Structure 1
Amino acid sequence: MILAATLLIVGLAVLILGAELLTRGGTALAQQMRIPPIVIGLTIVAVGTSAPELAIGIDAAIIGNGALTVANIAGTNTVNILLILGLSALIHPLALRSRTIRMDLPAMVLAALMMLVMSLDGRLSRLDGAVLVCSGFLYTLLIIRSAAGESRAVRIQFAREYRQPKGSRSSGRSVVASAAALVAGIGIIIVGADVFTDAAVRLARIWGVSDAFIGLTIVAIGTSAPELVTTVLSTLKRERDIAIGNLLGSSVYNIFIILGITCLVPTAGLPVTPDLARVDIPMMALVALVCVPVFLSRREVSRMEAAAFVTAYAAYLGYLLLTRT
């Protein structure tokens, strides 16, 4: 058990390192290609932070642990909203940008409901995966198109966050270095995912619990660790607008792109266990739906609402521990 736990931690650390390299390399490459900072922040960074989930999902699907993949997506999206966003707003009430309410919120709700409906038959097929991936591409196109209409203040904020460092040039050498970082990040993520997934499955066997339980808890919380740290630190520095946008964007990409691509890997698609279909995926969808009145009421998440979010996640985690172990 000690070995499996150690490998889990090592695998997670390698995953985080790989995701950071992938995001930095992709961001730098996009800057050198003169892609606007706002597009970089809303697409490349959001996808980069979801890269560990994709690697784990594909690895688990290949070795026949598809339930872990589905559980990881449902668990991660629940963690993103109830725990990470909840903790952020608990530290300081969260004012929401109009773009979050106009685009990210509807997309997150739509993605969650699509996953819920698709899982009702107990399996996410390749056709389901293709529909999700196409939805992800459409969402990305809408993001790029809407970026042109953002206010000057929002553009300045993204430019400050993702601007190209002064003195840097789009030389052949810098482009090669950025591409190398991107490729290295992908390679490191693949290695980390293999170690992490193997360790997670080992722990499930040792504890006598299902792969889905591990995916909903340890894997979901572990792969959300970078977003948790980034969002909390941004909150303490009062610079969290972009972090929150990326958090919701990652929740959308987790379903549309990450789950969609993973569904395409096994011939028979991904199995959805009865507990996932009856409890965990509906829970994820309910959390997304609850965000609608909370976000629209005063265009902010108050400390009271944040406390309710965090309490709800603690109760859900307690439920999992009591009923699935």
Structure 2
Amino acid sequence: MAYLLLLVGFVLLIKGADLFVDGSSNIARLLRVPPILIGLTIVAFGTSSPEATVSIIAAMEGSSDVSLGNVIGSNIFNLTLVVGIAAIIFPLKVENETIRKEIPFTLLAGGALLVVINDIFLQDHSNNLITRSDGLIFLLFLSVFMYYVIEVALKSRQDSQTEAIPDEIKWGKNIGLTILGLAGIVFGGELVVSNGTEIAYAVGMSETLVGLTIIAIGTSLPELVTSITAALKKQSDIALGNIVGSNIFNILFVLGASSVITPLSVSSKVGIDVVIMLLLTILLLVFSRTNFRVGKREGSVLAIFYVIYLVYIILRN
């Protein structure tokens, strides 16, 4: 039964992502804002819903390792395999604002996470902890990012008031498509995670390894499917905006909300994973500066890095 539900989950993910990309890209046209801003907000928040659900539930149940590992593992998966596969399918165009502001903001969020999880090293505490006050700081950072996105959106809207919108693009239809697609993504992601985890335990995988691989990959499937679908539709702005936005939401919203609910204890091993995440973000920034796009070659390198990371955590655990 678990295998059948896993298959149903994949079908819902794929069809949901297809509807979600169509609906959200048309909403961007109706709002007269660049598609990347929709990718950074509506699409990113929507595809981060599984991470938020899993991490918040894990925090409430006292499983802080699952909550933190899910976010970091998902972000690494997004930076490597999601960007990599999407770029291999169709080279991702990178806007100047993404290079100058959005990817650096992702680095800022990752750097802030590295600081708050190093209490033992920085403050001579007995253990590392993401406290409620740390979580509130993350949520404040998120509000600054949202202010920036809204300001850019309003400016872009003023600059594109003359663009003609085809009559067949209607508000009601596209809002409906976006909501329906999001429901498919979230429900499909939940089926994939729960049944994939059940299958993994049945074949003898350890709980730690399941958390770092199955749960992290499973909750990132919406980003993967949405970005691949956007790449196939040549909506590269949405593909890259989805990934950058999801990583920002994962750190600032998911960990912020989780730690406000209950402080999260941090394993000493996690620091290495956060450093790897930061290095991969820098690598994406470097790749983005080459002709303002991430091409097939860069995508292949990023995908290979994920395979190397996967082997590393399997051997480490």
TM-score > 0.5, shorter chain as reference:
yes
Aligned partner letter, 1:166: E
Aligned partner of 1:166 in structure 2 is: 168
Aligned partner of 2:81 in structure 1 is: 83
1:15-62 deviation line (CA, Å, top 9, x unaligned): 88889999999999x89xx85554544322221111111111112222
Corresponding residue to 1:301 among 281, 294, 299: 294
Larger mean CA deviation between 212-221 and 64-73 belongs to 212-221
Provide the secondary structure at the position in 2 that maps to 1:238.
coil
Aligned partner of 1:287 in structure 2 is: 280
Query: Is the Cα–Cα contact under 8 Å of residues 40 and 246 in structure 2 kept in the other structure?
Result: no
In the alignment, the residues of structure 1 paired with residue 297 and residue 277 of structure 2 have an alpha-carbon distance, to the nearest angstrom, of 21
In the alignment, the residues of structure 2 paired with residue 24 and residue 98 of structure 1 have an alpha-carbon distance, to the nearest angstrom, of 24
Q: In the superposition, relative to structure 1, how do residues 204 and 64 fare at CA in structure 2: closer, same or farther (>3 Å)?
A: farther
Aligned partner of 1:147 in structure 2 is: 153
- 1:316 is aligned to 2:309: yes
Aligned partner of 2:210 in structure 1 is: 214
Residues 48-87 of structure 1 aligned to structure 2 (within 5 Å)? 48-87=46-85
TM-score by length of 2: 0.77
Aligned partner of 2:41 in structure 1 is: 43
Aligned partner letter, 1:106: P
Q: Percent identity of the aligned residues?
A: 32
Aligned partner of 1:273 in structure 2 is: 267
Q: In the superposition, relative to structure 1, how do residues 61 and 213 fare at CA in structure 2: closer, same or farther (>3 Å)?
A: same
The alpha-carbon deviation at position 254 of structure 1 amounts to: 1.1
Query: Is the Cα–Cα contact under 8 Å of residues 135 and 259 in structure 2 kept in the other structure?
Result: yes
Q: In the superposition, relative to structure 1, how do residues 138 and 241 fare at CA in structure 2: closer, same or farther (>3 Å)?
A: same
The alpha-carbon deviation at position 123 of structure 1 amounts to: 2.1
Q: In the superposition, relative to structure 1, how do residues 54 and 25 fare at CA in structure 2: closer, same or farther (>3 Å)?
A: farther
Length, aligned pairs only: 305
Aligned partner of 2:222 in structure 1 is: 226
Q: CA RMSD in A?
A: 4.0
In the alignment, the residues of structure 2 paired with residue 263 and residue 216 of structure 1 have an alpha-carbon distance, to the nearest angstrom, of 19
In the alignment, the residues of structure 1 paired with residue 84 and residue 241 of structure 2 have an alpha-carbon distance, to the nearest angstrom, of 14
Larger mean CA deviation between 196-205 and 19-28 belongs to 19-28
1:234-286 deviation line (CA, Å, top 9, x unaligned): 33443322221122111111111122111112x3x122222222x22221122
TM-score by length of 1: 0.75
Aligned partner letter, 2:149: I
Structure 2: give runs of 5+ residues left out of the alignment. Answer: 120-127
In the alignment, the residues of structure 2 paired with residue 193 and residue 94 of structure 1 have an alpha-carbon distance, to the nearest angstrom, of 25
Aligned partner letter, 1:263: S
Query: Is the Cα–Cα contact under 8 Å of residues 123 and 271 in structure 1 kept in the other structure?
Result: yes
The alpha-carbon deviation at position 73 of structure 1 amounts to: 0.8
Aligned partner of 1:134 in structure 2 is: 140
Q: In the superposition, relative to structure 1, how do residues 203 and 70 fare at CA in structure 2: closer, same or farther (>3 Å)?
A: farther
Query: Is the Cα–Cα contact under 8 Å of residues 51 and 220 in structure 2 kept in the other structure?
Result: no
Which aligned segments of 4 or more residues in structure 1 are displaced greater than 4 angstroms? Answer: 3-28, 34-41, 184-212
Provide the secondary structure at the position in 2 that maps to 1:53.
helix
Query: Is the Cα–Cα contact under 8 Å of residues 85 and 244 in structure 1 kept in the other structure?
Result: yes
Query: Is the Cα–Cα contact under 8 Å of residues 90 and 236 in structure 2 kept in the other structure?
Result: no
Query: Is the Cα–Cα contact under 8 Å of residues 117 and 130 in structure 2 kept in the other structure?
Result: yes
The alpha-carbon deviation at position 79 of structure 1 amounts to: 1.1
Aligned partner of 2:122 in structure 1 is: none
Aligned partner letter, 1:289: I
In the alignment, the residues of structure 2 paired with residue 165 and residue 74 of structure 1 have an alpha-carbon distance, to the nearest angstrom, of 43
The alpha-carbon deviation at position 109 of structure 1 amounts to: 0.9
The alpha-carbon deviation at position 5 of structure 1 amounts to: 6.1
The alpha-carbon deviation at position 95 of structure 1 amounts to: 3.2
In the alignment, the residues of structure 2 paired with residue 243 and residue 136 of structure 1 have an alpha-carbon distance, to the nearest angstrom, of 21
In the alignment, the residues of structure 2 paired with residue 19 and residue 63 of structure 1 have an alpha-carbon distance, to the nearest angstrom, of 30
Structure 1: give runs of 5+ residues left out of the alignment. Answer: none
The alpha-carbon deviation at position 304 of structure 1 amounts to: 3.0
In the alignment, the residues of structure 2 paired with residue 236 and residue 26 of structure 1 have an alpha-carbon distance, to the nearest angstrom, of 15
- 1:260 is aligned to 2:256: yes
